[in-house]
Amino acid sequence: MITEIITFGIPDGMTRGEVVANYRRSAPTWRANPDLIRKNYLYAEATRRAGGVYLWRSMEAAWLARDARWLERVRRTYGNEPMVQYFETPLVADNALGATIDAG
């Protein structure tokens, strides 16, 4: 499994409500992706940063989701370049599922 952390700046004047509304609009698309295990949406008012933490089945799946349309949408909506980090994720302790996910 791969954890992908993406952050970007929130433009001046954009409210928390607007950011969350953008998230709500995007959630059905992410839920429809069979290679995405989970996405956590991020919002930090103090630093004016937002983003997401994605848990993918593979690195290939993560890269496929980052196409030119996605990048243009982030640039257009938030006015800046996203920062992206990747981590191998060998194990997840998931209390919501009541299980440990082991990539083995």
pTM, to two decimals: 0.92
Give one DSSP letter per residue of the chain, joined into a string.
-EEEEEEEEPPTT--HHHHHHHHHHHHHHHHT-TTEEEEEEEEETTTTEEEEEEEES-HHHHHHHS-HHHHHHHHHHHSSPPEEEEEE--EEEETTTTEEEE--
In this structure, whether the domain defined by 2-102 belongs to CATH 3.30.70.100 is answered with: yes
Sequence ranges of the domains in the chain: 2-102
Supply the pLDDT for residue 104.
Answer: 80
Per-residue pLDDT of the chain (104 residues; tens, 9 = 90+): 999 999 999 999 999 999 999 999 999 999 999 999 999 999 999 999 999 999 999 999 999 999 899 999 999 999 999 999 999 999 999 998 899 999 88
Supply the pLDDT for residue 46.
Answer: 96
